[in-house]
A and B are shown apart, each in its own frame.
Chain A
Amino acid sequence: MQVKEIVRLSFESLLSQKLRTALTILGMVIGVGAIVLLVSVGQGAKNYVTSEFEGLGTNLIIVQPGKSDRKTHLGPPVGAAQRKMTTADVQAIEKRALNLEAVSGLVLGTVSVRYEDALANITVFGTNEQFPHILNIKVGRGEYFSREEDEYGRRVVVLGQNVATELFGDADPVGLSVKLNESEYRIVGVLAPMGNKLGLDFDELGFIPTEAALKLFNDDKLFGIRAKASSRVGMDDAVAEMTEILKERRDGEEDFTIMTQISMMESMNTILSMLTYVLAAIAAISMVVGGIGIMNIMWVTVVERTQEIGIRRAVGARRVDIMKQLLAEAISLSVLGGLVGVGGAVLITYGLYFAFPYFDMRAPMWIVLPAFFLAVFVGVAFGVGPAWRASRIEILDALRYE
Chain B
Amino acid sequence: MALISIEGLDKVFRRGDEEIHAIRSMSLSIEPGEFISITGPSGSGKSTLLYILGLLDKPTNGRYLLQGTPVENLSDTERAQLRNKFMGFVFQSFHLLPRATALRNVMMPLVYAGTYEAALPEAEQRARAADALTMVGLENRMNHLPNELSGGQRQRVAIARAIVNRPKLLFADEPTGNLDSKSGKEIITLFDRLNAEGVTIIMVSHDPAIAGHAHRTLSLRDGELVEDRRAS
Seen from chain A, the residues whose Cβ lies within 8 Å of a Cβ on chain B are 1-2, 5, 12, 16, 307-308, 310-321, 394-396, 399
Q: Which of B51, B83, B165: most chain A CB closer than 10 A?
A: B83
Q: Which of B93-125 contact A (CB under 8 A)?
A: 95-97, 99, 108-109, 111-116, 119
Is the beta-carbon distance between B161 and A16 smaller than 8 angstroms?
A: no
Chain A residue with minimal CB distance to B80?
Answer: A318
Is the beta-carbon distance between B111 and A1 smaller than 8 angstroms?
A: yes
Name A's interface SS: helix
Minimal beta-carbon separation of B109 from chain A (angstroms):
4
Minimal beta-carbon separation of B168 from chain A (angstroms):
14
Minimal beta-carbon separation of B191 from chain A (angstroms):
19
With an 8 Å Cβ cutoff, the count of chain B residues facing the other chain is 27
Q: A314-B95, A317-B80, A318-B77 are in contact. Are A1 and B112 (CB under 8 A)?
A: yes
**Residues of B contacting A312 with CB < 8 Å?**
108, 112
Q: 8 closest Cβ contacts across the A-B interface? A: A316-B84, A316-B112, A315-B109, A318-B80, A395-B56, A311-B95, A316-B83, A318-B77
Tell me the complex Cα distance, A16–B84, Å.
Answer: 27
Tell me the complex Cα distance, A131–B216, Å.
Answer: 112
Minimal beta-carbon separation of B132 from chain A (angstroms):
13
Minimal beta-carbon separation of A400 from chain B (angstroms):
10
Q: A315-B84, A315-B161, A396-B56 are in contact. Are A321 and B112 (CB under 8 A)?
A: yes
Minimal beta-carbon separation of B202 from chain A (angstroms):
15
Is the beta-carbon distance between B83 and A315 smaller than 8 angstroms?
A: yes
**Residues of B contacting A394 with CB < 8 Å?**
57
Say yes or no for B76: interface residue by CB 8 A criterion: yes
Is the beta-carbon distance between B56 and A12 smaller than 8 angstroms?
A: no
Chain B 52-90 near chain A by CB (<8 Å), digits 1 or 0: 000011000000000000000000110011011100010
Is the beta-carbon distance between A396 and B51 smaller than 8 angstroms?
A: yes
Tell me the complex Cα distance, A277–B108, Å.
Answer: 48
Say yes or no for B35: interface residue by CB 8 A criterion: no
Minimal beta-carbon separation of A140 from chain B (angstroms):
76
Q: In the complex, which of the residues B51, B76, B111 contacts A319, with contact meaning CB atoms closer than 8 Å?
A: B76
Q: Which of A312, A314, A317, A396: most chain B CB closer than 10 A?
A: A314
Q: In the complex, which of the residues A16, A313, A395 contacts B99, with contact meaning CB atoms closer than 8 Å?
A: A16
Minimal beta-carbon separation of A261 from chain B (angstroms):
65
Is the beta-carbon distance between B89 and A315 smaller than 8 angstroms?
A: yes
**Residues of A contacting B99 with CB < 8 Å?**
12, 16
Is the beta-carbon distance between B57 and A396 smaller than 8 angstroms?
A: yes
Minimal beta-carbon separation of B155 from chain A (angstroms):
14
Minimal beta-carbon separation of A347 from chain B (angstroms):
34
Is the beta-carbon distance between B95 and A2 smaller than 8 angstroms?
A: no
Chain B residue with minimal CB distance to A310?
Answer: B95
Chain A residue with minimal CB distance to B93?
Answer: A399
Q: A2-B119, A315-B161, A321-B112 are in contact. Are A308 and B56 (CB under 8 A)?
A: no
**Residues of B contacting A1 with CB < 8 Å?**
111-112, 114-115
Query: What are some 27 contacts across the A-B interface (CB < 8 A)?
Result: A1-B111, A5-B114, A308-B97, A311-B108, A314-B83, A314-B89, A315-B83, A315-B84, A315-B89, A315-B109, A315-B112, A316-B80, A316-B83, A316-B85, A316-B109, A316-B165, A318-B80, A318-B112, A319-B80, A320-B77, A321-B112, A394-B57, A395-B56, A395-B57, A396-B51, A396-B56, A399-B95
Minimal beta-carbon separation of B193 from chain A (angstroms):
21
**Residues of B contacting A317 with CB < 8 Å?**
80, 112
**Residues of B contacting A16 with CB < 8 Å?**
99
**Residues of A contacting B109 with CB < 8 Å?**
315-316
Tell me the complex Cα distance, A316–B164, Å.
Answer: 12
Tell me the complex Cα distance, A317–B115, Å.
Answer: 9
Chain A residue with minimal CB distance to B98?
Answer: A308
Tell me the complex Cα distance, A5–B76, Å.
Answer: 22
Is the beta-carbon distance between A399 and B77 smaller than 8 angstroms?
A: no
**Residues of A contacting B165 with CB < 8 Å?**
316
**Residues of A contacting B96 with CB < 8 Å?**
311
Tell me the complex Cα distance, A120–B166, Å.
Answer: 100
Known pairs A314-B56, A316-B81, A396-B57 / 17 extra A-B pairs, C-beta < 8 Å: A1-B114, A2-B114, A5-B111, A5-B114, A12-B99, A314-B83, A315-B83, A316-B80, A316-B84, A316-B116, A316-B165, A318-B76, A318-B77, A318-B112, A396-B56, A399-B56, A399-B91
Is the beta-carbon distance between A307 and B112 smaller than 8 angstroms?
A: no
Chain B residue with minimal CB distance to A317?
Answer: B112
**Residues of A contacting B84 with CB < 8 Å?**
315-316
**Residues of B contacting A310 with CB < 8 Å?**
95
Minimal beta-carbon separation of A17 from chain B (angstroms):
11
